[in-house]
A and B are shown apart, each in its own frame.
Chain A
Amino acid sequence: GIQVEQSPPDLILQEGANSTLRCNFSDSVNNLQWFHQNPWGQLINLFYIPSGTKQNGRLSATTVATERYSLLYISSSQTTDSGVYFCAPTGGSGGYQKVTFGIGTKLQVIP
C-alpha cells in the first residue's frame, strides 16, 4: 500500500505565526485530502486536493502529484488551529478509493 510520511511530527507555534506542514507519499495517487482533528477528536475535511493549489481563508494547500508530496500552509495561526493534521492520499482502481493516513502533525498554538 501507499506509505505516507508527515513532517514535522510535533509543532508549537506562537499565535499569529505561519507554518508549513509536509506530506510525502510513496506511490501515485488518485486524490489527497487534508484533515484537521480537533482536541475533541472530530475529523474535519480541510482540502480535497489531487493536484494544484487551493485556498480557504488562512489555510492553503498545494499538491505536486508528480513529485509525490503535498503541503499545508497555515497563516496567522490561532489557538483554535490546535489539533492533529492528517494527510490522507487515496489510491485504487475500479471506481473506488482506499485511503491511507499519515500519523499526523500535532500542532499546538499558544497565545
Chain B
Amino acid sequence: GAGVSQSPRYKVAKRGRDVALRCDSISGHVTLYWYRQTLGQGSEVLTYSQSDAQRDKSGRPSGRFSAERPERSVSTLKIQRTEQGDSAVYLCASSLLKNTIYFGEGSWLTVV
C-alpha cells in the first residue's frame, strides 16, 4: 500500500521566488497536515485541513504560506516570496480521524 509521498524531495529556490510543494496522502485519510521542521527548533504546524476545509494557519507568517487541497488526497503547500529563513524540511502527514498520523519523507527546501 502506498504511504504519504512528497515532491520534490529537494528544492533549491532563489530568495523572493515562489515555491510549491506537493503531498499525496493516503487514500481515505481525512485530515492532512503540513509541518515545518528546522534544526534545533523542532516542528511547527503550518496548516491542517479536514476534508477540503482549511482549519488552521498557525505558525509562520501565514500570509506567505497557503495550502490547497484540490483533491481529497492531494495537497499543495505554496510559499510566496521565499526568504532564507524558510529553509527547512517541510513534512506532510495524514490521518483518519483520531488515528495514527503518517508522515511523508519530507521536502528539503533551501533558499539561497
Contacts and interface: CB of A to CB of B under 8 A. Distances in A.
Interface in B27-50: 30-31, 33, 35, 37, 40-45, 48, 50
Interface residues of B, number: 30
Nearest to A40: B105
Contact of A95 (B48, B97, B101): B97
A98 B108 contact: no
Contacts of A101: 35, 37, 42-44
Contacts of B106: 41-43
Contacts of B97: 95-96
B103 A35 contact: yes
A74 interface: no
B100 A98 contact: no
Interface in B7-58: 30-31, 33, 35, 37, 40-45, 48, 50, 55-56, 58
Interface of A: 1, 4, 30-31, 33, 35, 41-43, 45, 48, 86, 88, 90, 95-104
